[in-house]
Amino acid sequence: IGKQTLPVSGKLKQVNLHVRGAVDDLQADAAVKIVNGSAWEQSFDDLTALAKLAGNRVTLSSLKIKKNGGAVALKGFYDFDQSFQAEMTVSKLNFHDIDRSKSIAVQYEGKMDMTLTASGTAQQPQAQAKIVFNSLSYTGKPIEDVVCDISLKNQDMRAIVTTFRKKLIVTFDLGLTPDLPYRAELSMRQAAIEQILSVVMEWKDMTGIITGTITSTGSLNRLREASADVKLSELRLDVYGQQLKNSRPIDFVVTEKNFTVNSLEMRGKELGLFAQGFLNFQGDFNLDLDGIIDLRGVAPFLPDSAGISSLAGRAQVICSVHGTFAQPEIDGLLEFTDGAV
pLDDT of 285 reads 83
What CA–CA distance (Å, rounded) separates 248 from 267? 10
Report which secondary-structure segment, H or E, holds 133. strand 125-138
pLDDT confidence of residue 225: 87
Instruction: State phi, psi for 176 to the nearest 5 degrees.
Output: -85, 60
Tell how many helices (H) and how many strands (E) occur in the chain.
1, 22
Query: What local confidence, expressed as pLDDT, does residue 203 receive?
Result: 67
Q: What is the DSSP letter of 325?
A: S
Look at phi and psi of residue 282 and say left if phi exceeds 0, alpha if psi is from -120 to 50, else beta.
alpha
* Dihedral of alpha carbons 140, 148, 94, 106, sign: negative
Q: What is the pLDDT of residue 223?
A: 87
The whole-angstrom distance between residue 270's C-alpha and the CA centroid of its chain comes to 34
pLDDT digits (tens, 9 = 90+) for 238-296: 988 889 999 999 999 999 888 999 999 999 998 899 999 988 877 788 889 899 988 88
Is 183 exposed, middle or buried, given 0-12, 13-18 or 19+ CB atoms closer than 10 A? middle
**Residue 334 confidence (pLDDT):** 81
Residue 4: partners with Cβ closer than 8 Å, 6 or more residues away: none
Between the CA of residue 234 and those of 28, 202, 230, 262, what are the distances in Å? 63, 23, 12, 16
Query: Model pTM greater than 0.85?
Result: no
pLDDT, greater one: 306 or 58: 58
Spatial neighbors of 104 by CB under 8 A, at least 6 apart, are 199, 200
Query: For residue 50, how many C-alpha atoms fall within 13 Å in the half-sphere facing its CB?
Result: 4
How confident is the model at residue 281, as a pLDDT? Answer: 75
d(C-alpha 140, C-alpha 296), whole Å: 23
Residues 101-147 have pLDDT tens digits of: 887 888 889 999 999 999 999 889 999 999 999 999 988 888 889 99
Whole-number mean pLDDT of the chain? 89
| 303-332: average pLDDT | 80
pLDDT-based confidence at 1, cuts 50/70/90? very low
> What percent of the chain has a predicted confidence (pLDDT) above 70?
95
Please, is 74 exposed, middle or buried when counting C-beta atoms within 10 Å of its C-beta (0-12, 13-18, 19+)?
A: middle
Pairwise CA distance, residues 283 & 105, whole Å: 36
Query: Model confidence over 4-60: pLDDT tens digits?
Result: 567 888 999 999 999 998 878 889 999 999 999 998 889 999 999 999 999 889 999
> What is the DSSP-derived secondary structure letter of residue 193?
H
pLDDT at residue 303, as a whole number: 66
pLDDT at residue 13, rounded to an integer: 92
Q: What is the percentage of the chain residues whose pLDDT exceeds 90?
A: 57
